[in-house]
Structure 1
Amino acid sequence: MHLISRRYKIFLIGNNVILIVLTLLCLLPVINVLTVSFSSSAAAGAGQVSVWPVDFTLKSYGFVLQSGQFIVSFWNSVIRVLIGVVLSTAITVLVAYPLSKESHLFPQRTVYAWLFVFTMLFSGGIIPSYLVIKQIHLLDSIW
């Protein structure tokens, strides 16, 4: 029989309580947004909606789907995901293969590895990145 100490049981209970509270803190806002979307606009505007929908309706979803923008936006998201997965995988393979070789086969391996680590840890920031993207005319494009 496996003996579990009293302190370990207390730890497990406390750990589970903390994880449940953190899970609820993450899920409740999402549940609230869904509940508001399934409630009537009058009930949502009056602040009557909390966890369960009030005056259940699908009008908001009908409104969103009626406009062609939702389909265009969804299609753009699908295209970006597909292009991103293919390009990211290809670049990762092309970089990882030479970096996996031994030093005598690829003498500059350490330099390149540190360059990648440095750029992962330190970036120029969001404003310089925006300015670069704007300067090379990539705003409002899929790239």
Structure 2
Amino acid sequence: MIRTRGETVFGYFNVLILALVSLSMLFPFLHIAAKSLSSEGHVLAKDILLWPRGFTTISFEYVLSNKQFYYSFLNSVFITVVGTIISMALTILAAYPLSRRNLPYTRLLMLLFVITMFFSGGLIPTYLVVKQVGILNTLWALILPGALAPFNLILIRNFFTGVPDALEESARIDGASNIRILASVYLPLSVPALATVGMFYAVGYWNAFFQAMMYITERRLMPLQMFLLQLVTDEKSSELVVPDVFREVTPETVRAAAILCAVVPILFVYPFIQRYFVKGVMLGAVKG
């Protein structure tokens, strides 16, 4: 296909704009990484941009020196993995029947889900519900109250609706039940949508700290984000600092190292998920 001059110029213009947008998002991350690996003098002099000066890993050693970091890390891993599995199961099991045209009162049911996106019971009633249920001061308090996100439900439901009816009809002719159709037809064809929504859930669980501040008081149950928050705000406390070793640690480098410790683990998940974002598994599913 021969491109016109205007299309070529427009393509280069798009590439330039997208490159600038990408750099604008990458710049803060590189700046934080450079600051976390720089020495105290250069950080206090504020001469760090994108490259560390006076290379040192003392800030990361400071963050990783507390055993609570590893306990909090495991708590966050549990919350993210188990929470994502539960959320995906609930989302799929709710989205599939809502995508069926023969389900009565579908619009009413969808309206009930949508209303929760704009109105909630409030902070105090939610806390009282969590307390009465008996999951206060447990990791389940960080998973169950927000296990189903209506926005993600709408995404999966819309994707299921786009699956050709011919696939379901052929499965029913073969005697497949609703569960078998969901597992053998809809889920394999919905891998990109499921991967995207699963990533939404995982990132949300990993980064959540406000729920931990409300429902968790025991230090052993503290998730990683809450631990890093306390590490930054209480960085001069005797519990977290070993004076003989970390005398040169500065608040800015600790803050930068803490941010990287929270971002890097979930960042490693993206390369494994990205391939599903661009793969067209629906292509050729039904012959014309």
TM-score (norm 2): 0.43
State how 1:92-111 maps to structure 2 within 5 Å: 92-103=91-102, 106-111=103-108
Structure of greater Rg: 1
Change in CA separation of 1:23 and 1:123 when aligned onto 2, cut-off 3 Å = farther
Alignment partner of 1:135 out of 118, 122, 128 = 128
Write out aligned runs for 1:18-33 (5 A): 18-33=17-32
- The structure whose RCO (Cα within 8 Å, separation 6+) is larger is 2
Query: Cα 1:97–1:47, aligned 2, differ >3 Å: closer, same or farther?
Result: same
Matched, 1:38 2:37: yes
Which 4+ residue blocks in structure 1 deviate beyond 6 angstroms? none
Distance 1:140 1:44, change over 3 A: farther
1: CA distance between counterparts of 2:53 and 2:72? 29
Give the distance between the partners of 1:112 and 1:45, measured in 2 at CA: 57
Q: 1:139 to 1:37 in 2, by over 3 A?
A: farther
Supply the distance in 1 between the matched residues of 2:122 and 2:79 (Cα, whole angstroms): 19
2: CA distance, partners of 1:58 / 1:83: 33
The whole-number CA distance in structure 2 between the counterparts of 1:26 and 1:140 is 36
The worse-fitting range, judged by mean Cα deviation, of 109-118 and 74-83 is 109-118
What's the TM-score, normalizing by structure 1? 0.82
Q: Give how far 1:79 is off.
A: 1.0
**What letter is aligned with 1:78?**
V
CA distance in 1, matches of 2:45, 2:78: 39
Report matched runs for 1:3-82 at 5 Å.
3-82=2-81
Deviations for 1:62-121, whole angstroms, at most 9, x for unmatched residues? 111111232122112101111211211221132123223342xx322232123223434x
Q: Which runs of 5+ in 2 are unaligned?
A: 142-288
How has the CA–CA distance of structure 1 residues 55 and 114 changed in structure 2, closer, same or farther, with 3 Å as cutoff?
same
The alignment partner of 1:112 has SS state of helix
- Contact preservation (8 Å) 1:133, 1:139: no
- Provide the aligned C-alpha RMSD in A: 2.1
CA distance in 2, matches of 1:52, 1:139: 44
CA contact (8 A) 1:38 1:57 kept: yes
SS, match of residue 71 in structure 1: helix
Aligned length: 136
Q: Distance in 1 between matches of 2:126 and 2:67?
A: 28
